[in-house]
Every structure is written in structure tokens, then in C-alpha cells.
């Protein structure tokens, strides 16, 4: 019996050692795949470990690339599709470079991705619809680029989404109605595009919205249906085509309002009673509306 037990223990030890070696081998292969993917994207010092490359962050356990921070690096060219092979990647920050061409669809393969920041580049083409496959995405910032086409309705699949900042591009069409299903959304910034139509109702689900910026577009209709979102602190709807009067209870329903920028529309009505409750109001801009003034 003792010999049997010894044999079982030995066999178990062999299996454990083999599993450990296999796991280490797989990690090494995965790490090598990350290295090759990064080399295809940029010129790093290949003589040192990729986890020591500028702007690269690796996880402690698996030594896989989890962060790519290459902001202010004067990088030219395009974002390589090989980025889609960095399967452990959680954050991409490429702010203030000179990257061109489209955002590669392979970004949709990054299921762990939480932050995608592409601000101040020259990205063009459409926002990839399969960005919605990045189920852990919290923030997508791509302001001041040359993106065009419509905002994909599939964005509503991002159930952890908090920040959408795609200001100063060439986007057109409407703000998708499905965006109203994003209960975690805190910031919408589509300022300075070519968007039009009416703002879809968001009051039923978007209860955590803090900043709503749709200025410098071609939105029309009555005041957008956001006056019941009590969490709002910043409202920018300036230089659009809104008309009619403001909701009478807007100040009561928006007690946290700090910035209220509604200039350059065709709005009319009274402000005095409705805004007397907004004790945190820091800036109010109502210029260039009907008769250049509201009735107080």
C-alpha cells in the first residue's frame, strides 16, 4: 500500500510539474505574441524586455501587456491592426500624436479594454461598430480627429460605458436613440460635429449623466428631454436650432446645475423663477436667442 501511495504522489507531482511547464510555455508564447504585435506598431528597443519599453505596462502575474500609453510621442502613421492581438490590453492612450487612417476594426477583439483615448490625432473613417464587443469599455475619447459617418447604434451594448467624447469631428446623422439605454453614462460630448435631428429621450435610463454637450451642431426641435436628470451639472446646447420655451420647472429638476450654455438658438421664455433654485450655477449664457434676450 505505501508503494501505491508513493506512486500516486509521484504521478501527481509529475502532472503538476508538466502543467506548470506547459502554463509557463503558454505564457512565454503569449508574451512573444505581444512583443511581435507591438513591434509591428512602433519602433521600440528590441534588445530589452517588452515590459520595459516606453509606454508599455505589463501585468505582474502573466507579463502580458495591459497598458499602452504613448501620448505626446509625435508618432506618425496609423494604428496597426496588430493591436487586436494584445488580448490582455485594458488601456490605450494615444493623445496628441499624428496618427492617421481608420481606427482598426481589430480593436473590437480587445474584450478586456476599458479605456480607448485617441484625442488630438488625424483618425478618419467611421467609428468601428464592433467597438461594442469591448464589453468592459468605460471610456471612449476621440475628440479633435477627422471621424465621419454616423455614431453606431451598437454603442448601447456597452453596459459599463461612462464617457463618450467624440467632439470636433465630421460626424453626421442623429444621436442614436439607443444611447438612452446606457444607465452608467456620465458624459456625452459630441460638440462641434454635423449632427442633426432631435435628441432622443434619455430620461428613463440615463440617471447618472453629469455633462451633456451637444453644442455647435444642427440639432432642432424643442429643448432636449434632459430636464429631469437631476445629476446634470453641465449643459451645453449652444449654436443649434432649438426653438420654443424652456421647461418651467427646469431649475427645480436640475438642482446641481453649474454651467447652462444655451446661446445661439431660437429659445424664448422666462428664466427667473425656474433657475432660482440652482444655487450652484456658475455660468449662464443665453445670448443670441430670439430678440437676443429672455424675458426675466
User: What integer pLDDT is reported at residue 9 of this predicted model?
Assistant: 35
149 assigned to some structural domain: yes
Mean pLDDT of the chain: 84
Coil, strand or helix at 228: coil
> Could you list the residue range(s) of the whole structural domain that residue 136 is in?
61-292
277 assigned to some structural domain: yes
Do 242 and 219 meet the contact criterion of CB atoms below 8 Å apart? yes
Global pTM reads 0.85
113 assigned to some structural domain: yes
13 assigned to some structural domain: no
User: What integer pLDDT is reported at residue 289 of this predicted model?
Assistant: 85
In whole angstroms, what is the distance from residue 200 CA to residue 140 CA?
Answer: 21
User: What integer pLDDT is reported at residue 185 of this predicted model?
Assistant: 95
pLDDT level of residue 249 (50, 70, 90 thresholds) = confident
Do 263 and 286 meet the contact criterion of CB atoms below 8 Å apart? yes
In this structure, is the dihedral angle defined by the CA atoms of residues 106, 109, 112 and 115, taken in order, positive or negative?
positive
Q: How far is CA 227 from CA 53, 86, 118, 140, 217, in A?
A: 48, 42, 31, 25, 20
CATH number at residue 156: 3.80.10.10
Place of cell 503558454: 26
Find the Cα–Cα–Cα–Cα dihedral 127, 130, 133, 135, rounded to 10°: 10
Coil, strand or helix at 248: coil
Number of H helices, E strands in the chain: 2, 20
Task: Give 276's Cβ-side CA count (13 Å radius).
Answer: 6
User: What integer pLDDT is reported at residue 276 of this predicted model?
Assistant: 79
In whole angstroms, what is the distance from residue 210 CA to residue 186 CA?
Answer: 5
Nearest Cα residue to 127 out of 106, 103, 110, 111:
103
Q: Which three cell numbers stand for residue 236?
A: 451645453
In whole angstroms, what is the distance from residue 27 CA to residue 49 CA?
Answer: 14
Q: What integer is the mean pLDDT of 73-100?
A: 93
111 assigned to some structural domain: yes
pLDDT digits (tens, 9 = 90+) for 133-188: 999 999 999 999 999 999 999 999 999 999 999 999 999 999 999 888 899 999 99
On the question of pLDDT at 3 being above 60, the answer is no
55 assigned to some structural domain: no
Q: For residue 187, which phi and psi values (nearest 5 degrees)? A: -140, 130
Nearest Cα residue to 162 out of 119, 114, 204:
114
Q: What is the tally of structural domains in the chain?
A: 1
In whole angstroms, what is the distance from residue 169 CA to residue 193 CA?
Answer: 5
User: What integer pLDDT is reported at residue 272 of this predicted model?
Assistant: 64
pLDDT digits (tens, 9 = 90+) for 176-234: 998 888 999 999 999 999 999 998 875 557 889 999 999 999 999 999 989 889 999 99
4 assigned to some structural domain: no
Q: Put residue 192 in one of left, alpha, beta given phi > 0 → left and psi -120 to 50 → alpha.
A: left
50 assigned to some structural domain: no
Amino acid at each position: 500500500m505505501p508503494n501505491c501511495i508513493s506512486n500516486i504522489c509521484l504521478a501527481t507531482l509529475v502532472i503538476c510539474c508538466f502543467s506548470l511547464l506547459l502554463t509557463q510555455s503558454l505564457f512565454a508564447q503569449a508574451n512573444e505574441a505581444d512583443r511581435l504585435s507591438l513591434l509591428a506598431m512602433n519602433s521600440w528597443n528590441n534588445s530589452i524586455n517588452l515590459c520595459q519599453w516606453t509606454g508599455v505596462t505589463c501585468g505582474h502575474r502573466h507579463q502580458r501587456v495591459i497598458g499602452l500609453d504613448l501620448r505626446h510621442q509625435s508618432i506618425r502613421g496609423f494604428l496597426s491592426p496588430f493591436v487586436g492581438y494584445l488580448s490582455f490590453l485594458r488601456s490605450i492612450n494615444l493623445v496628441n500624436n499624428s496618427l492617421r487612417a481608420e481606427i482598426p476594426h481589430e480593436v473590437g477583439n480587445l474584450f478586456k479594454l476599458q479605456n480607448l483615448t485617441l484625442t488630438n490625432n488625424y483618425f478618419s473613417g467611421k467609428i468601428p461598430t464592433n467597438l461594442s464587443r469591448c464589453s468592459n469599455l468605460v471610456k471612449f475619447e476621440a475628440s479633435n480627429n477627422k471621424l465621419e459617418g454616423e455614431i453606431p447604434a451598437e454603442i448601447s451594448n456597452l453596459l459599463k460605458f461612462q464617457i463618450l467624447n467624440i467632439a470636433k469631428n465630421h460626424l453626421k446623422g442623429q444621436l442614436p436613440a439607443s444611447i438612452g439605454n446606457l444607465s452608467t453614462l456620465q458624459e456625452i460630448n459630441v460638440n462641434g460635429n454635423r449632427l442633426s435631428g432631435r435628441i432622443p429621450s434619455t430620461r428613463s435610463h440615463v440617471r447618472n449623466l453629469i455633462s451633456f454637450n451637444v453644442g455647435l451642431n444642427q440639432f432642432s426641435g424643442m429643448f432636449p428631454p434632459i430636464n429631469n436628470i437631476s445629476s446634470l451639472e453641465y449643459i451645453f446646447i449652444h449654436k443649434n436650432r432649438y426653438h420654443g420655451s424652456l421647461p418651467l420647472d427646469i431649475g427645480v429638476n436640475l438642482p446641481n446645475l453649474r454651467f447652462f450654455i444655451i446661446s445661439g438658438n431660437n429659445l424664448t421664455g422666462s428664466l427667473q423663477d425656474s433657475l432660482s433654485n440652482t444655487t450652484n450655477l456658475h455660468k449662464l449664457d443665453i445670448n443670441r436667442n430670439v430678440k437676443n434676450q429672455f424675458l426675466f
